[in-house]
């Protein structure tokens, strides 16, 4: 498979190593200083592009890739209010767009556990729920896309919670509070805690490094290659 990389920072370089180890070819590497390469024959020859950049440039990256006839796998978060536009453009071009707030297999298992636990806790209103996420200082969006996905899993299953907001503690109202911490080089820690007058129930996912995210992105590219339409981790993992 011929892969183009959009974003060639730490994550892009790890993705490159994993893709090469799996027998794929990197035909184009696009970063801030060579945006003109979206129009190159090398980029257009790609079977698929893997994009990890920043919220303010992600949508334009998708549009440029689609214009070049290249499908996209992306893990950039913080832009999804424009998702309807990107889905429509993807379908119009007859390409694939695979997006996930987190490509880690462990995190996606965590998503499923979170939803299951929330369905149980819907029956026990004496428990208040709160969330905390910690990432490295280069993480630009807060809360993280992973935290938002976890929050949506809770809101969809606990009737007494109807919205999420950044803040502290475990609000006693319809708001699910998400505390976002930015420090050091933390790849990502997400914790959900239910608290009653008598005890705590806590679940946590703690990433050791970025390799799990990168491997998931390459697996997503393998899955999406040759397909059409909007795809996600649930399509690939089937749970």
Nearest to 107 by CA among 11, 213, 179, 10: 213
CA gap 103, 234 in Å, rounded: 11
- For residue 139, indicate whether it is catalytic: yes
Q: What pLDDT sits at residue 168?
A: 79
Which of these is catalytic: 93, 139, 161, 205? 139
Q: Which residues of 54-69 are buried (b: 16+ CB within 10 A; e: fewer)?
A: beebbbebbbbbbebe
Full pLDDT tens readout for the chain, 239 residues:
999 999 999 999 999 999 999 999 999 999 999 999 999 999 999 999 999 999 999 999 999 999 999 999 999 988 999 999 999 999 999 999 999 989 999 999 999 999 999 999 999 999 999 999 999 998 878 899 899 999 999 999 999 999 999 987 666 679 999 999 999 989 999 999 999 999 999 999 999 988 999 999 999 999 999 999 999 999 999 87
Look at the block and give the residue holding tokens 């059409």.
228
The pLDDT score that the predictor gives to residue 70 is 98
Q: If DSSP codes are grouped into helix, strand and coil, which group holds residue 40?
A: coil
104 within 8 A of 189, measured Cβ to Cβ: no
CA-to-CA distance for 142 and 90, rounded, in angstroms? Answer: 27
Judge whether 135 counts as a catalytic residue: yes
Alpha-carbon dihedral sign for residues 216, 203, 81, 33: negative
Give backbone dihedrals phi and psi of 206, rounded to 5 degrees, phi first: -125, 110
For the chain, the average pLDDT equals 95
Quote the pLDDT of residue 65. 98
Evaluate the CA torsion angle 166, 217, 225, 51 in order and state its sign.
positive
Q: Which of 24, 64, 93, 135 is catalytic?
A: 135
In the chain, the N- to C-terminal Cα span, in Å, equals 26
At residue 9, the 3 state secondary structure works out as: coil
Q: Distance (Å, rounded) from C-alpha 4 to C-alpha 38?
A: 10
**Residue 210, pLDDT score:** 87
Query: pTM of this prediction?
Result: 0.82
Do residues 55 and 76 make contact, with C-beta atoms less than 8 angstroms apart? yes
Model confidence over 12-62: pLDDT tens digits? 999 999 999 999 999 999 999 999 999 999 999 999 999 999 999 999 999
What's residue 169's pLDDT?
67
Rounded to whole angstroms, the Cα distance separating 130 from 194 reads: 7
The DSSP output letter for 159 is: T
Note the helical H segments in the chain.
10-21, 41-44, 55-67, 83-93, 105-121, 145-155, 211-224, 233-237
Nearest to residue 18, comparing CAs of 88, 86, 96, 103? 103
Supply the Cα-derived Rg of the chain in whole angstroms.
19
């Amino acid at each position: 498979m011929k892969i183009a990389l959009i974003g060639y920072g730490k994550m892009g370089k790890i993705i490159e190593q994993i893709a090469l180890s799996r027998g794929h070819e990197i035909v184009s590497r696009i970063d801030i200083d060579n945006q003109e390469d979206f129009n190159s024959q090398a980029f257009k020859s790609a079977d698929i592009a893997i994009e990890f950049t920043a919220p303010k440039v992600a949508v334009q990256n998708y549009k440029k890739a689609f214009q070049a006839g290249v499908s996209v796998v992306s893990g950039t978060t913080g832009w999804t209010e424009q998702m309807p536009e990107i889905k429509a453009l993807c379908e119009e071009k007859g390409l694939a767009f695979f997006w996930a707030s987190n490509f880690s297999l462990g995190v996606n298992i965590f998503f499923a556990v979170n939803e299951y636990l929330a369905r149980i806790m819907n029956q026990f209103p004496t428990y208040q729920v709160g969330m905390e996420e910690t990432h490295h200082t280069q993480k630009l969006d807060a809360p993280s896309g992973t935290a938002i996905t976890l929050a949506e899993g809770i809101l969809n299953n606990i009737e007494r919670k109807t919205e999420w907001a950044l803040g502290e503690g475990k609000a006693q109202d319809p708001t699910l509070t998400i505390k976002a911490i930015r420090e050091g080089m933390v790849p990502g820690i997400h914790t959900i805690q239910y608290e009653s007058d008598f005890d705590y129930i806590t679940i946590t996912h703690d990433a050791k490094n970025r390799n799990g995210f990168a491997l998931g992105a390459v697996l997503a590219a393998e899955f999406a290659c040759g397909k059409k339409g909007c795809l996600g981790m649930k399509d690939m993992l089937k749970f």
